[in-house]
Structure 1
Amino acid sequence: MEYFDIVIIGGGPIGIACGLEAKKKGLSYIILEKGPIVNSLYNYPVNMQFFSSSEKLEIDDIPFISKEAKPRRSEALEYYRRIATSNKLNIKLFEKVNSISKEDEEFTIVSEKNSYKSKNIVIATGFYDIPNTLNIPGEDLPKVSHYYNDPHYFAGQKLVVIGASNSSVDAALESYRKGAEVTLIIRGDEIGERVKYWVRPDIINRIKEGSIKVYYKSTVKEISKETITINTKNGLETLPNDFVLALTGYKPNFTFLEQVGVAFSNDEKKIPVYDEDTMETNVGGVYLAGVICGGLETHKWFIENSRIHAKMIVKDILEKK
């Protein structure tokens, strides 16, 4: 069984940043990623453009050059992939971690392919893998998805998009422009204020002109093979429907954190307990990095404000060592 100074769980931008910092400081490390390099970014919509500018997505002061100020998914994949490969990071892909146990001061990390030992674990698993479900009849139908990829798929189809966030608005606009008949279902009374500032006027104008239909202050009651039933402010309404994109947000893998022994705040935000100076949790030797630190407040942490976690964590491990 191999031993490392640090086992990093999650091969996204922040996990990669942690690996770079560990390598730079002479610590042995391994990054375990259940999918491809930067798995979450890989699963973003094919045409996605980041809200942040390229320099804010940089890690370890490695320049990120993009065609526009705000890079697109394909450019980000190229950037982080090149960092991982050119630095010969010790990263194991398509290797999901199944369990972590601790005896005395040492952890045993068991993956689908191997087992490892370490005194320090960094959990940098993000939040994109578990969608917030609607818990309504018909949500498990093949026509319903919690992820959006390519608008071409919905051309000529009656598409309902649930939500008012960036992902919902992007899906609605792109699918409309590829020939879908788009209807937005929004719980609130307007398009979300956090929607990208250069996109928000576009969706508002498409709604005003009638190109995209919208139901404000509405929720979905039921989905069937050919229809969708909505609770609107004027009562129930049933619409003909081919596909549903339930883009209602995502959440961290709380079950995994609980199995490790990480504690949480006592409110609905479910924020993990950690030291803000070192990123170490209530479990000695277990550190958090990236968006997972925000619990259900997934809008609080981004690459740009959490890339510093790598230096904080490695510094604390070195001081203990």
Structure 2
Amino acid sequence: MNIFDVVIIGGGPIGIACGLDAKKQGLSYLIIEKGPIVNSLFNYPINMQFFSSSEKLEIDEIPFISKEAKPKRNEALEYYRRIVTSNQLNIHLFEKVTRVTKNKDSFLVETEKDKYEAKHIIVATGFYDLANTIDVPGENLSKVSHYYKDPHFYASQKLAVVGASNSAIDAALECWRKGADVTLIVRGPEVGQRVKYWVRPDIINRIEEGSIKAYYNTTVKEIKPREIDINTPDGIVTLENDFVLALTGYKPNFKFLEALGIELSKDEKRLPNYNPDTMETNINGLFLAGVICGGMETHKWFIENSRIHAPLIISTIKKSMGSKAE
């Protein structure tokens, strides 16, 4: 079995950036992605538009040209796909990592298809894989989804959207514009303050004019095949309902991190233990990159401010290998 200098788990933008830097530094590397290239971005809503401008989403100073200042999902897929293919990055797609074992001087990476050995590991798996559930009766019904893709699916249907962040608000507006009867269920007193600044006035206006019904300070009590019960300040309200989009956020795969031996903070933030100067965790030779570094603070790291992780990690690995050689 050949031993790689580094195996990168996760083929999103930051995992790709790590691969580019490893290649430039002459390190043997492998990127392993459980789905297609930039799997998380692929699973974003079809019409999603980024909050950031295209230049802030660039990696390795490769220009990202988009039609508008803020690119859309399909443009991002094109950009990152071309980077992977034009640079002939060593990436294995549709190959899920099942276990990583630390040996004396290396790691054994086991996937659903093969096994690999590496001197160093970079985990860049993001946080979009696991949804924050609302934990109510009926959440497992087929009418309920924690991911939103295409508004056409909900046309002429009574749709409840649970949440007040960007994903929930985008879904509510898009589905309403395609003819859905939309009700927004918000746990807090208002639409989230982090909603994109050009979208927030739109949803507020739609609510005020009565096009979209909104219940604030409200939670879901139970989801039924044809109804949904909600807890409002005025008591329990039962609504006719065909579909529920529970868009209440996502979280990293903490079980995977713990299985790797990475220490997590005991509070609700579940912050992983790593050195911010090197991105190395409490496990020697194991690094974190990208949004996964924020634990439950999923608003802390984005593509634009975690791009620096790639050169930081690869330079650290390069130096450590040089010192060992001496």
TM (norm. structure 2) is 0.98
Do residues 162 (structure 1) and 168 (structure 2) align? no
- Aligned equivalents of 1:2, 1:123: Cα separation in 2: 20
In the other structure, the counterpart of 2:298 is 298
- The answer to whether 1:200 aligns with 2:203 is no
Partner of 1:232: 232
Name the residue aligned to 1:105: 105
Residues in 2 aligned to 1:67 and 1:102: alpha-carbon distance in whole angstroms: 46
| Cα drift, residue 119 of structure 1 | 1.4
Q: Distance in 2 between matches of 1:40 and 1:74?
A: 13
Question: How many angstroms does 1:265 deviate by?
Answer: 1.6
How many Å separate the matches in 2 of 1:301 and 1:2? 34
Residue 3 (structure 1) shift: 1.2
Q: Please show how residues 278-317 of structure 1 align to structure 2 within 5 Å.
A: 278-317=278-317
Residue 139 of structure 1 pairs with residue 176 of structure 2: no
Measured against aligned partners, the alpha-carbon deviations of 1:66-118 in whole angstroms (never above 9, x if no partner) come to 00000000000000000000000000000000001111121100011110001
1:221 and 2:221 correspond: yes
Hey, what does 1:77 align to over in structure 2?
Answer: 77
State the Cα distance separating 1:2 from its structure 2 match.
2.7
Q: Matches of 2:116 and 2:286 in 1, distance apart? A: 15
Instruction: Show structure 1 runs of 5+ residues with no match.
Output: none
- Give the letter for the 2:35 counterpart: G
Match for residue 22 of structure 1? Answer: 22
* 1:129 corresponding residue in structure 2: 129
Could you tell me which residue of structure 1 aligns to residue 40 of structure 2?
A: 40
Number of aligned positions between the proteins: 321
Q: Is the 8 A contact 1:264 1:273 kept in 2?
A: yes
Unmatched tracts of structure 2, length 5 or more: 322-326
Deviation at 1:15, TM superposition (A): 0.2
How far residue 156 of structure 1 moved from its aligned partner, in angstroms, is 0.2
Mapped to 2, the partners of 1:103 and 1:178 lie a distance apart of 55
Query: In structure 1, what residue type is equivalent to 2:110?
Result: V
The letter of the residue matching 1:208 is: E
2:80 is matched by which residue type in structure 1? Y
CA distance in structure 2 between the aligned counterparts of 1:241 and 1:293, rounded to whole angstroms: 38
Question: Aligned equivalents of 2:298 and 2:123: distance in 1?
Answer: 16
Q: Cα RMSD (Å) of the superposition?
A: 0.5
Q: Which runs of 4+ in 1 moved over 4 A?
A: none
- TM-score, normalised to structure 1, is 1.00
Displacement after TM superposition at 1:266 (Å):
2.6
Q: One-letter code of the match for 2:312?
A: M
Give the counterpart letter for 1:94 in structure 2.
Answer: F
Contact 1:2 1:115 in 2 (8 A): no
SS in 1 for 2:30: strand
Q: Is the CA contact (8 Å cut-off) linking 1:218 and 1:232 kept in structure 2?
A: yes
d(CA) in 1 for partners of 2:120 and 2:107? 7
Distance in 2 (alpha carbons) for counterparts of 1:41 and 1:102: 30
- Which residue is equivalent to 1:263? 263
Equivalent position SS for 1:120: strand
Q: Does 2:209 match 1:209?
A: yes
Which residue does 1:68 correspond to in 2?
Answer: 68
Report what 2:324 is aligned to: none
